[in-house]
Structure 1
Amino acid sequence: MYKMIAIDLDDTLLTDQLIISRGTIEAIQQAVDAGIVVTIATGRMYSSAKKIARSLDLNVPLITYQGALVKEANGEDIHYERLIDPETAHQLIEFAKYEDLHLQVYQDDTLYSSSENKLLQQYANDVKVPYVIEPDLAKLAGRGFDKMLFIDAPDYLDKLQDELRSLFGQRAHITKSRPFYLEITHPEANKGLALLHLAGRLGIDRSEIIGIGDSYNDLDLIMSAGLGVAMGNAVDELKKQADYVTYSNNEEGVRHVIEKFIFQNELTAVKSG
């Protein structure tokens, strides 16, 4: 029944310790062996997602930067890319300067920040990627960005999200991926659109897709999938829209979904046959 599974990383596939359980790895590998396309759908950089894909032996296009870039895990082929336009990028950089906010930008799979601080260091350590300090981010804006990221206190980011949405309207897709991450991408860069684009290229119908996530930026993912799954630790808004709520990221929720909707379905089909 299902031919494709798209899985978010942080707080979904990864535990709170940023690892993948052995049982979940085995379930994913069994699904791949059964002919299921298993991919990652994350807000992380391509290079970060690629490392995890390799650890799982996934040789498929990966959905990264919230859907701004879909690129082969073991190659250079880009299937989908949407960049923040230069004007919007310049305005966000100036806004961050004026408000004295920490802003990170991503271009050519490189993480840039205007200054080094604990927020940047912690982020780079968590996702295991290097970074480059560029005091004048405006120099880079002319070529557009895959993503721009504000890191701050959750309550403040809630207010900032509303403010930026009112300022930029349809020129940007603005969403929280974690309580302290506010992410800005091109308006056509979200996990749902990227998922459907990839599925179309692979000849897979929407009804044949399982999408699994935990946060606000996964709403498009689970709404675009035939079966939208929220983790047990997901935000309430996502759970309300999901077709199914699984166990938490620390309780092998992804493994449970694979076993329930891939292998139990196959067993039922065999028995019916």
Structure 2
Amino acid sequence: MFIALDMDGTLLHSEGYISPRNKDAIKKAQDAGHIVAIATGRAYKDAYLPLERAGLHCPIIGLNGAMITLESGAVMSEVPLHRQAFIPTLEWVRTQPDLYCELYTNTAVYVGLHNREHLEALAYKVREEHPDLQRIVQKQFQQACVTYVEDISQVWHDDSLIVYKILIFSLNLHLLKEASFQFAKLRDVAVTSSHPNNIEINHQQATKGEAIKKLASYYGMELSDTVVVGDSLNDLPMFAVAGYRVAMGNAAEAVKQQSDSITATNDEDGVALILEELVQKGNVPRQRLV
């Protein structure tokens, strides 16, 4: 069996770690002969660190499928963006102080320093009216090992850099929708989301679904023998190709509607629940879990 697990909101507890039960369930699944892969919007380093802390070794589908890294650390596949085509839209983003932008490249994740400072100041300004915003903003910063630059435009004008993914985060949902529309107008683009306050832009062929096909084929697995577990809209492409789809209890409603079963939440070890059932029965459970 080939099993692909999303990270944030799925494998990871809300505090950002892999619980002991989830860790043990993955190891038991691997010992039983199953391939367990990670499928995440995170860059390789950000995905690797929580696995390393838990003592786990898995192939990683990173950046929503823009990069596939084998368990050995070798890169199996890369699907970058056509950077030049994005520059006019990125220049528009740069003029919108309420749009926080991360560029995921071959060397680092880049963020404009002024961009972060503006977002932090905005969250602080409305802290009494919206006390949860500071928590949301800080969580966003914690999800990327970033390199700060004075002017983010220097990154997209650097011909030596390869851009795999663009993430736009905002507390202004109207402006975020406009940004989504601007990027969606470009050719060969996939626009998705891993959180209500962000959009993620990849090449059209850089989706979790396309990456699942490639990695399952690499291991000699049929798509009918794949199990995927996720919670967000960027997981829907892998739900579209997998043999069995499991939504987290905390998943977006659109994800639950496309699932074959629903497990517990990420803070209730929902991943462990599905993996334990799979290992015990030797095949995918065919019922709703909670």
- Scaled by the length of structure 2, the TM-score of the pair is 0.83
Name the residue aligned to 1:167: 185
Which of 210, 221, 235 is 1:193 aligned to?
210
Task: Return the offset for 1:105.
Answer: 0.3
Between 1:150-159 and 1:250-259, the stretch displaced more is: 150-159
Name the residue aligned to 1:133: 149
Query: Equivalents in 2 of 1:151, 1:140: separation in Å?
Result: 23
1:233 aligns with 2:231: no
Task: Return the offset for 1:174.
Answer: 0.5
Give the partner amino acid of 1:111: V
Paired residues for 1:234-249 under 5 Å? 234-249=251-266
Name the residue aligned to 1:98: 95
Name the residue aligned to 2:23: 25
1:89 aligns with 2:86: yes
Conservation of the 8 A alpha-carbon contact between 1:106 and 1:145: yes
Paired residues for 1:106-145 under 5 Å? 106-116=104-114, 117-118=116-117, 119=119, 122=138, 125-127=141-143, 129-135=145-151, 136-140=154-158, 143-145=161-163
Query: Equivalents in 2 of 1:249, 1:266: separation in Å?
Result: 22
Q: Provide Cα deviations, 1:35-57, integer angstroms capped at 9, x if missing partner.
A: 11111100001001111232344
SS of corresponding position for 2:193: strand
Task: Return the offset for 1:171.
Answer: 2.2
Give the partner amino acid of 2:5: I
Between 1:157-166 and 1:216-225, the stretch displaced more is: 157-166
Cα distance, 1:254–1:267 mapped onto 2, change above 3 Å: closer
Query: Equivalents in 2 of 1:178, 1:88: separation in Å?
Result: 25
1:147 aligns with 2:165: yes
SS of corresponding position for 2:265: coil
Which of 2, 8, 11 is 1:4 aligned to?
2
- Scaled by the length of structure 1, the TM-score of the pair is 0.88
Structure 2: gaps (5+ residues) = 121-136, 286-290
The alignment of Structure 1 onto Structure 2 pairs a total of residues equal to: 264
Task: Return the offset for 1:108.
Answer: 1.3
Task: Return the offset for 1:158.
Answer: 5.5
Query: Equivalents in 2 of 1:109, 1:260: separation in Å?
Result: 40
Query: Equivalents in 1 of 2:160, 2:188: separation in Å?
Result: 16
Query: Equivalents in 1 of 2:66, 2:15: separation in Å?
Result: 27
Query: Equivalents in 2 of 1:138, 1:158: separation in Å?
Result: 20
Cα distance, 1:158–1:107 mapped onto 2, change above 3 Å: closer
Query: Equivalents in 1 of 2:77, 2:240: separation in Å?
Result: 20
Cα distance, 1:166–1:129 mapped onto 2, change above 3 Å: closer
Query: Equivalents in 2 of 1:90, 1:261: separation in Å?
Result: 46
Name the residue aligned to 2:65: 67
Which of 224, 231, 237 is 1:214 aligned to?
231
Task: Return the offset for 1:221.
Answer: 1.5
What RMSD in Å do the two structures reach over aligned CA positions? 2.4
Cα distance, 1:129–1:95 mapped onto 2, change above 3 Å: same
Query: Equivalents in 2 of 1:73, 1:180: separation in Å?
Result: 32
Conservation of the 8 A alpha-carbon contact between 1:215 and 1:238: yes
Query: Equivalents in 1 of 2:14, 2:256: separation in Å?
Result: 19
Task: Return the offset for 1:103.
Answer: 1.1
Cα distance, 1:196–1:161 mapped onto 2, change above 3 Å: farther
Structure 1: gaps (5+ residues) = 269-273
Task: Return the offset for 1:251.
Answer: 1.0
Query: Equivalents in 2 of 1:131, 1:229: separation in Å?
Result: 35
Cα distance, 1:123–1:95 mapped onto 2, change above 3 Å: farther
SS of corresponding position for 1:192: helix
Q: Provide Cα deviations, 1:66-116, integer angstroms capped at 9, x if missing partner.
A: 1100012433x2111111102233123212123332211011140112224
Conservation of the 8 A alpha-carbon contact between 1:47 and 1:109: no
Name the residue aligned to 2:281: 264
